[in-house]
Structure 1
């Protein structure tokens, strides 16, 4: 059956992207997606940094099929299921020490909101009802529902809904390329981490419930890892003031950085950690909140349980998909593969791109890399947002059959980058192919733009 390309003028779908009409995907396998016209696309970003084990995994399809035939919808207040129990145990086996319980939901934003609520309830269980306020960071991405959006620090997404957002306090991110304090690492003595302590003291430590941060900055700061010592400093500050540390690993978790959990690079254990995206390899919606055992026991002792829920939480079919994904990562040692090949991916991108006058930085970890584009490299001056540089480079790549991920708003509302975050099965020949084409697309777009001035 032939389907018309989705656009705002045809069909009955309200599309995510209104213009231009989108091609119709019909098949995917490994690192490739094919559209209705037979054109093939190399998926160098795993969609929205979701596909980790590769497209078209028969094992996951079989697990979902078997689960639906055994039993499909089971409400989690009435039954538990082997699928959910087994997935929880499988994740706990790879989690930082002490993270032993997992609450399953559908999307990353859901998991973030659940974590924010859970932090509050942990304080209630421990008889600290005065602790309710949330601190997060500018240039963060935590989801688009109102609770997650309140915590998020991406300006353009927040502004239309500002009157509707809850009160969350934001501090600068660990973004050394554009340090909010005009300092240089390591002479800065981690001023961006010390901002957390300063903010807690200004707010009143007795009122602060939690600090929420991406372990590795994702879609808004284009795969920017924190400098050495940052996460440990954050952990120490949270401990000093009895603040729950929530690490958002919806994007950077599940092996993406070369560890099962990105915080394992720094040896830091959060109180709560959110997972999503790659948790089921993109096959079905699935997310989770990982919870420290001590906090779980506090909730249990409080008597009322966690005052939260969802029709599709702890869904057995989604859990079956997630468990199958974990077993693939284990059996094929794909997380170890990311750790081994990640530096080569970064080196390939740097070798092909770092000499371009518009490339301000190539940074990342594992199979998560960002290429930041600047108008002037000496000063890191960004392109004005109305020039739509990211969108033009992305489209030039897409037209060539290469899928990357867009990142904008790195410097106020300005700032441009693309993200390369392929499935873990991508090989070194594909690294070269992607890097060469990114270079060609950047040269094409920005040379044309310079000629138009």
Structure 2
């Protein structure tokens, strides 16, 4: 038994967590040798699997070569190479990458950069941000203001800068009570309406998750949605920031999820799986034209961070990309993701408490409902999805939860395994979820 002194301020205060001792592939082992299938990659982070020696070796060698190098004093080869690798895979002319430690930081940097781009271009009145309800962008104050997850925002509203919001592309629970495709993407057209009403001369940027993840559980939008959004932003000179912290780096079967929609945003953010979860690393990607606006005017982005452009983290990111390339794991996600989706629908969709299954690649949401016909959610006071999660945990399966999908209520699971999961393991996972549903709801 590992002794725990008890001085930690833990993420969860409602339970005593087991102590993780080993992790390899798609499994984590605790101090009692119990194994857990990591069916969500933690917080949709682990993509190449746990315990990758190539990443560990790259980080180890980089530490011994040169570790902390301040980015205003030197550049380093790992940082330069990682930026080039990402630029080759990024859509359009997103050619410049700024590296940070987490997704929240990357989104914060994007919000600030959008404002500075407008200032440099002589549009000082453009300062307001538009986000979406039922979105998540991180917990720093700028990212928190942009997000649309009410339970996270409400306690800190007095601290936040005003931001505007439109409904999410959530076809299962359409905010307008419409049906796709006869809706004509009313949820996208709402952006144009809001910009017009607020005054386009005041709007700096629109930020959105390419595929809404944690808050409405892998809700893949209709194909035309982002094209309409992109055209609206371009028409009003509003910068489009796509948050791919969760859905990027191959999670949906494309290196960048926006490739599913054939659009190029002004900025894109990455995090979570950028280094496979091994080390803290995120990135802000930006179009070359916007980079040049900053370079040729003030010559400095008014932002920074002690641990930005960190060569050790970048070495981890480079090693992760090499693994994904060499083992063709992004292509594997595209193929095997269809199998995972089909298994989920086959075994779970017939269940009375499963209202919807949606997703792409290795990012799937299972919405849990009290009444399937009316899509009635469970009251959040019941903590339904936490009960399902805990039962799966006891059986040795780790899944991610999503709450507050229907106003303040609603529950869902997110399934997002490492890209190396086998066919047999996928079937074992889905059958385990079905077993828990049958036990829990009967």
Same fold (TM over 0.5): yes
Q: Distance in 2 between matches of 1:345 and 1:401?
A: 19
Given candidates 381, 396, 399, the residue that maps to 2:394 is 399
Deviation string for 1:13-44 (max 9, x for gaps)?
00000121000001000000000000000000
Q: Distance in 2 between matches of 1:70 and 1:138?
A: 46
Q: 1:125 touches 1:301 (CA, 8 Å); kept in 2? A: no
Mapped to 2, the partners of 1:372 and 1:112 lie a distance apart of 27
How many angstroms apart in 2 are the aligned matches of 1:302 and 1:125?
A: 6
Corresponding residue of 1:59:
54
The answer as to 2:69 corresponding to 1:74 is yes
Give the match for residue 451 of structure 1.
none
Task: Name the counterpart of 2:135.
Answer: 140
**What is the distance in 1 between the residues matched to 2:354 and 2:195?**
37
Shift of 1:3: 2.1
Report what 2:261 is aligned to.
Answer: 266
1:163 offset after TM fit, Å? 1.2
Aligned to 1:93, the other structure's residue is in SS state helix
Matching residue within 98, 102, 111 for 2:106 = 111
1:370 is the counterpart of 2:365? yes
SS, match of residue 319 in structure 1: helix
Q: 1:234 aligns with which of 216, 224, 229?
A: 229
| DSSP-derived class of the 2:89 partner | coil
In the other structure, the counterpart of 1:128 is 123
Q: Structure 2: any 5+ residue segments left out of the alignment?
A: none
Q: In the aligned structure 1, how far is the partner of 2:2 from the partner of 2:115?
A: 48
- C-alpha deviation, 1:376, in angstroms: 0.5
Distance in 2, Cα, partners of 1:285 & 1:78: 22
CA contact (8 A) 1:32 1:43 kept: yes
Q: Match for residue 196 of structure 2? A: 201
CA distance in 2 between counterparts of 1:437 and 1:392 reads 15
Q: What whole-Å deviation, never above 9, does each CA across 1:94-138 have from its counterpart, x for those lacking one?
A: 100111000000000000000000000111111111100000000
Whole-angstrom distance in 1 between the partners of 2:2 and 2:401: 27
- Aligned residue number for residue 182 of structure 1: 177
What are the residue-to-residue correspondences of 1:144-159 with 2, within 5 Å? Answer: 144-159=139-154
How many Å separate the matches in 2 of 1:53 and 1:160?
A: 37
TM-score under structure 1 length normalisation: 0.97
Match of 2:293 among 284, 290, 298: 298
Counterpart CA distance in 2 for 1:51 and 1:21 is 23
Partner of 1:213: 208
Q: Secondary structure at the match of 1:408?
A: strand
RMSD over aligned Cα atoms: 0.8
- Whether the aligned pair in 1 keeps the contact of 2:130 and 2:166 (CA below 8 Å) is yes
Separation of aligned partners in 2, 1:168 and 1:440: 43
Report Cα offsets for 1:132-175 as digits up to 9, x if no partner. 00000000010011111111111111111111111010110000
Secondary structure of the 2:134 match is coil
* Residue 413 (structure 1) aligns with: 408
Counterpart CA distance in 1 for 2:420 and 2:92 is 28
Say if 2:244 is the partner of 1:249. Answer: yes
Runs (4+) of structure 1 exceeding 4 A deviation are none
Cα distance in 1 for partners of 2:2, 2:106 equals: 34
**3-state SS in 2 of match to 1:255:** coil
Match of 1:283 in 2: 278
**Pairs within 5 Å for 1:304-319:** 304-319=299-314
Does the residue aligned with 1:91 lie in a helix, a strand or coil? helix
* Distance in 2, Cα, partners of 1:304 & 1:91: 23
